[in-house]
Copies of this chain bind each other. A is one copy, B any other.
Amino acid sequence: MLSGNSIGRRLVLTSFGESHGKCIGAVLDGCPAGLELEEKDIQKMLDLRKPGQSLVSTQRKEGDVVEILTGTFRGYTTGAPITMVIWNKDQKSIAYEKLRTEMRPGHSDYPAYMKYKKFNDHRGGGRFSGRLTATHVMGGAIARKLLKDTIGVETNSYTTQIGKIKMKKAAAKKEFRSIYTNEVRCPEKNTAQKMKSVILDARKKGDSLGGIIESITTNLPVGLGEPIFGSLESDISKAIFSIPAVKGIEFGSGFAGSEKFGSENNDAYVMKGGKVSTKSNNSGGILGGISNGMPITIRIAFKPASSISQIQQSVDIKKKKSIKLQVGGRHDPCVVPRAPPVVDSLVALTIADHALLSGTIKPTL
């Protein structure tokens, strides 16, 4: 499939809409018939990424109320494309007018202007807005439910680092339930406190912070994924890099693993009650691109949000001259706390895609 607005092979998500247009939405095609599905199943997850919930995120009020337009009948999916929309509200496009020619550093303004010329809908970032990740969640909420209801796979992610503040170690399964007990989505209570305060400092300075999200997927069957170009790492990373602020990803021991010896990094096999398992999980649950039954562990690097209110050096693309630019509007001092549902969505979509490809999940339930 040619377009950059769709992802997936057997379960295909097509994202549409603009940040300040009539709506944003998605078509999820290939979802099996017979999955119980109501709007609240999707809304729940959308609410977790919704902005305006606390000072750590933007103060824009985005209702983000999802409406299912097609693909369900009497509370179940039909096998037809599932179309979902969020009708946009509360846009202040005026603030963006001068940005047509004044390029915001770190934003897509400049390449978008060169690629689409004057035709690009720049308002609120248009297609490039982080707001579009809500369309990932629309599809991801369904994929996540499909995985859980059929084969019991669960995807969880959380904030493990903000700026220089880091969690002491990866979260244990039992800690997943406390991810959403705080605004920064970090299961370590004290670390969460510190994270919040560095974010609020950045906000005061009109600056922004980045961070790292950790994603753990449990209860996977052995054998999902394909050698060469269909590896789980290939497909998951392609999906994750659709999040505007993501600039890095690693699986299992990742970058740290490249400093180790093979004898340290190889995960020894053990038999546990007739079931094969590994002592360590440096592979992150993926060998040769295929799931080995251990949890899939991913770490994702987010850059600090490009939108800051400090004065920055830039250019006016039309006047072809240097300028001092100060960007108004309401920004996220840190987008990381809003990212876990998006990451969960993209991981779930990819794994559900492979589960359908391999016949692990049937096209009609």
Q: Shortest Cβ distance from A124 into chain B, in angstroms?
A: 12
A7-B81 Cα distance, complex, nearest whole Å: 14
Contacting residues of chain A (104-162) with chain B, CB-CB under 8 angstroms: 105-108, 110-112, 114-117, 119-121, 123, 126-128, 132, 161
Cβ A4 vs Cβ B268 within 8 A: no
Q: Which of A55-63, A177-185, A188-196, A270-278 contacts B (4 or more CB under 8 A)?
A: A270-278
When A9-B2, A83-B25, A111-B287 are in contact, do A301 and B73 touch as well, CB less than 8 Å? no
Please, how many residues of chain A have a CB less than 8 angstroms from a CB on the other chain?
148
The one of B239, B251, B267 in contact with A105, judged by C-beta atoms closer than 8 angstroms, is B267
Asked whether A329 is an interface residue with its Cβ less than 8 Å from the other chain, the reply is: no
| Complex interface: chain B residues within 8 A of A15 (CB) | 81, 228-229
Asked whether A3 is an interface residue with its Cβ less than 8 Å from the other chain, the reply is: yes
Q: Shortest Cβ distance from A256 into chain B, in angstroms?
A: 8
When A108-B289, A110-B292, A119-B79 are in contact, do A271 and B27 touch as well, CB less than 8 Å? no
Q: Tell which of A112, A119, A163 has the most Cβ of chain B within 10 Å.
A: A119
A235-B234 Cα distance, complex, nearest whole Å: 9
| Complex interface: chain B residues within 8 A of A12 (CB) | 1-3, 6
Cβ A269 vs Cβ B228 within 8 A: no
| Complex interface: chain B residues within 8 A of A77 (CB) | 119
A223-B106 Cα distance, complex, nearest whole Å: 15
* Complex copy number for this chain: 4
Asked whether A69 is an interface residue with its Cβ less than 8 Å from the other chain, the reply is: yes
A163-B303 Cα distance, complex, nearest whole Å: 26
Asked whether A358 is an interface residue with its Cβ less than 8 Å from the other chain, the reply is: yes
Asked whether A14 is an interface residue with its Cβ less than 8 Å from the other chain, the reply is: yes
Q: Shortest Cβ distance from A336 into chain B, in angstroms?
A: 8
Q: Which of A38-46, A167-175, A209-217 contacts B (4 or more CB under 8 A)?
A: A209-217
Asked whether A326 is an interface residue with its Cβ less than 8 Å from the other chain, the reply is: no
| Complex interface: chain B residues within 8 A of A301 (CB) | 250, 254-255, 257-258
The one of B24, B210, B247, B266 in contact with A106, judged by C-beta atoms closer than 8 angstroms, is B266
Q: Considering only CB atoms, which chain B residue lies closest to A22 in the complex? A: B69
A126-B302 Cα distance, complex, nearest whole Å: 37
Cβ A70 vs Cβ B116 within 8 A: no
